[in-house]
């Protein structure tokens, strides 16, 4: 079993086209925001838009429902091009254990990096957007030469990812922003349990 990610067998190509079209104006606004934002990685909640309009049209949504996985909230993420993000744990004061990420654009040359879980203790908790991201004590959060990297994953496919251990996005090879939809699950289930539900339905590639 892979401790950090699993790619879905399906491409969900129609979902990607549908979401890019539906969120076209918001994606344009968010990608333009990178010119003024000091953040390398930022997001807007789009839970209501997905729940009220898109849910029944998305194959990924229906597949998750078939696995008894209920969406709690959905975020639209943009990561600036040409940068490596800050090492962090999602929602550190109440760790968000995993996420299912649908790539919308600029993801083929983008990677997720995971760092050894016990390399750093959790320090500062960032409250922006209610995210409560935790950052490491005694680390340069943007210098991967100091990190004990244990896994990497290309983000060009729909992927189940572990988010409650040290990770970040490496977008240094990208010439365009990376845009994704992140589906977070009701009850904040463990990564291993979500993997089991998806695997039972044959939705995941063998690692």
Whether residue 52 is predicted with pLDDT greater than 70 in this model: the reply is yes
Is 189 inside any structural domain? no
Mean pLDDT of 39-44: 85
Is 80 inside any structural domain? yes
Is 45 inside any structural domain? yes
| Torsion 187-49-83-108 (CA) sign | positive
Summary mean pLDDT of the chain: 89
Is 59 inside any structural domain? yes
Using an 8 Å Cβ cutoff, are 115 and 147 in contact?
Answer: yes
Is 79 inside any structural domain? yes
Q: How many domains does the chain have?
A: 1
Cα distance between residue 76 and residue 48, in whole Å: 12
CA angle 173, 175, 180 (to 5 degrees): 85
Question: At 95, is the pLDDT very low, low, confident or very high (cuts 50, 70, 90)?
Answer: confident
Is 186 inside any structural domain? no
Is 58 inside any structural domain? yes
Q: Where in the sequence is the domain holding 115, given as residue range(s)? A: 5-176+194-199
Is 182 inside any structural domain? no
């Amino acid at each position: 079993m892979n401790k950090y990610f699993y790619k879905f067998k399906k491409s969900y190509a129609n979902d990607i086209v549908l979401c890019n079209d539906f969120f076209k104006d918001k994606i344009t606004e968010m990608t333009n925001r990178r010119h003024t934002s000091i953040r390398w990685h930022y997001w807007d909640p789009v839970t209501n838009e997905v729940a009220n309009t898109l849910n029944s049209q998305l194959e990924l949504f229906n597949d998750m429902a078939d696995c008894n996985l209920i969406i709690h909230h959905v975020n639209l993420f943009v990561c600036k091009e040409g940068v490596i993000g800050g090492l962090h744990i999602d929602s550190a004061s109440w760790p968000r254990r995993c996420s299912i990420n649908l790539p919308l654009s600029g993801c083929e040359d983008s990677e997720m990096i995971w760092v050894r879980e016990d390399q750093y203790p959790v320090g500062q908790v960032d409250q922006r957007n209610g995210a409560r991201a935790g950052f490491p004590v005694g680390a340069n959060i943007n210098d991967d030469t100091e990190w004990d990297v244990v896994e990497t994953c290309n983000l060009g496919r729909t992927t189940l990812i572990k988010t409650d251990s040290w990770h970040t996005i490496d977008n240094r090879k990208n010439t365009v922003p990376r845009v994704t939809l992140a589906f977070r699950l009701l009850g904040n289930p463990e990564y291993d349990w979500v993997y089991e539900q998806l695997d039972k339905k044959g939705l995941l590639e063998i690692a």
